[in-house]
Amino acid sequence: MPEQLIWGMEVFLNGLMAGVLYALVALGFVLIFKASGIFNYAQGVMALFAALTLVGIMEGQVPFSHLINAVLGTDIHHFGWHAPALLAILLTMVVMVALAWVVNKLIFRHLVNQEPIILFMATIGLAYFLEGFGDIMWGADIKKLDVGLPQGINSVIDELTYNIFDYGFFIDNLDLVATFVAALLVIALVIFAQYTKQGRAMRAVADDHQAALSVGISLNFIWVMVWSLAGFVALVAGIMWGTKSGVQFSLSLIALKALPVLMLGGFTSIPGAIVGGLVIGVGEKLFEFIIGAPYLGGATEIWFAYVLALLFLVFRPQGLFGEKIIERV
């Protein structure tokens, strides 16, 4: 087998893995958009905030320590304990649910029936607030996140491929875990949305507020639930990205990478978010490998996703799986 093809296969696999991580972020967007029609710009920052909180709890960091020290003249930084990863994840989830409740109570309850653009602006505000709040609460330094996920080259795949192709593929264990977790998450979410009472209520609220009220669905409950779910997805994405590249404030920018994924997958489709993520992940890696690096001087990964999204906007604006846009006249 020619070397180029083998390398291409490795690039393809790594693209799939990268795509899974994009999909994880896109998933959070889809959830909130489906249930409330809000495009949540803050999803990326929520992932960052979740990761910051997780690290903070694990390391026993005192929240707002800089502020407290500055005001009271004390010098405290740590509680002096290290929480086990699982407990810390649970506590972080509690924080994310509380955040969902507060966000709903303070912001979105007051914006019911407003134009989508106003809701969108509110989420931009939320994004900046949350970024600053995370900064004050946990500090701005880059943190290492280790919840015990395996990292580094997967030796089984390395050996297996070496025996077949005489060339061992480099596949990161963390990416494999991320793929597995994402698959689980999607299956769980689809089952939840399709086959449970709350899932049905969630879809109902997304469709028609008035009708939802008339059958006895509490809008507030559903919104808090959906924001909590999005918080949970953000936490998962935060853990994966944080483990991969450290918990740092540029994490919030992965939200931007989710945009082209959503253009491809459609804003309202959970499977679409996954397929969109995979297509973008594979597409940008393969493009870089085949065309970008040899002919265009490289670094095409930065813009490839957006150009692809642009093409989709022109030819199929509802995305691969989005609800078809039908206008009755």
Partner 1 sequence: MLDTSEGYVTEDGRKIGGVVMEMKNITLRFGGVVAIKDISFDVREGEIRAIIGPNGAGKSSMLNVISGFYNPQEGEVWYKGQRRPHMKPYQVARQGIARTFQNIALFEGMTVLDNVMTGRIRQMQAGLLSQAIWKGKAEREEVENREAVEKIIDFLEIQSIRKTPVGRLPYGLKKRVELARALAAEPSILLLDEPMAGMNVEEKEDMSRFVLDVNDEFGTTIVLIEHDMGVVMDLSDRVVVMDYGKKIGDGTPDEVRKNQDVIDAYLGVAHD
Contacts for 123 with CB less than 8 Å, ≥ 6 apart: 38, 39, 40, 41, 42
Closest of 27, 225, 227 to residue 126, by C-alpha: 227
CB of 301 to partner 1, least distance (A): 35
Sign of the torsion angle spanned by Cα atoms 204, 205, 210, 215? positive
According to the binding rule CB under 8 A, does residue 280 interact with partner 1?
no
Q: Pick between residue 75 and residue 328 the one whose CB is nearest to partner 1.
A: 328
Residues 211, 256, 291, 313: which binds partner 1 (CB under 8 A)? Answer: 211
How far is it, in rounded angstroms, from Cα 222 to Cα 234? 18
Smallest distance, Å, CB 209 to partner 1?
9
Q: Give the burial class of 307: count Cβ atoms within 10 A of its Cβ; 0-12 exposed, 13-18 middle, 19 or more buried.
A: middle
Spatial CA neighbour of 55 closest among 185, 231, 233, 246: 246
Nearer to partner 1, 68 or 190 (CB): 190
User: What is the total count of residues that contact partner 1 (CB under 8 A)?
Assistant: 24
Q: Indicate whether 325 belongs to the interface with partner 1 (CB under 8 A).
A: no
Q: Which of 2, 73, 216, 297 lies at the binding interface for partner 1 (CB under 8 A)?
A: 216
The yes or no reply on residue 186 touching partner 1 (CB under 8 A) is no
List the one residue from 98, 213, 253, 291 that touches partner 1 (CB under 8 A).
213
Given candidates 146, 159, 166, 207, which one binds partner 1 under the rule CB under 8 A? 207
Report the C-alpha gap between 220 and 32 in whole angstroms. 13
Residue 113 sits in the site that holds partner 1 (CB under 8 A): no
Closest to partner 1 by CB, 99 vs 202, is: 202
Return the residues of window 220-249 that contact partner 1 according to CB under 8 A: 225
Within 10 Å of residue 82's Cβ, how many Cβ atoms? 12
On the 0-12 / 13-18 / 19+ scale of CB atoms within 10 A, 83 is middle
Rounded Cα distance, 265 and 318, in Å:
8
Please, which of residues 145-184 interact with partner 1 by CB under 8 A? none
Taking the complex as a whole, the smallest distance from the CB of residue 49 to partner 1 amounts, in Å, to 23
Which residues of the shown chain bind partner 1 in the complex (CB under 8 A)? 195-198, 200-201, 203-204, 206-208, 210-219, 225, 323, 326
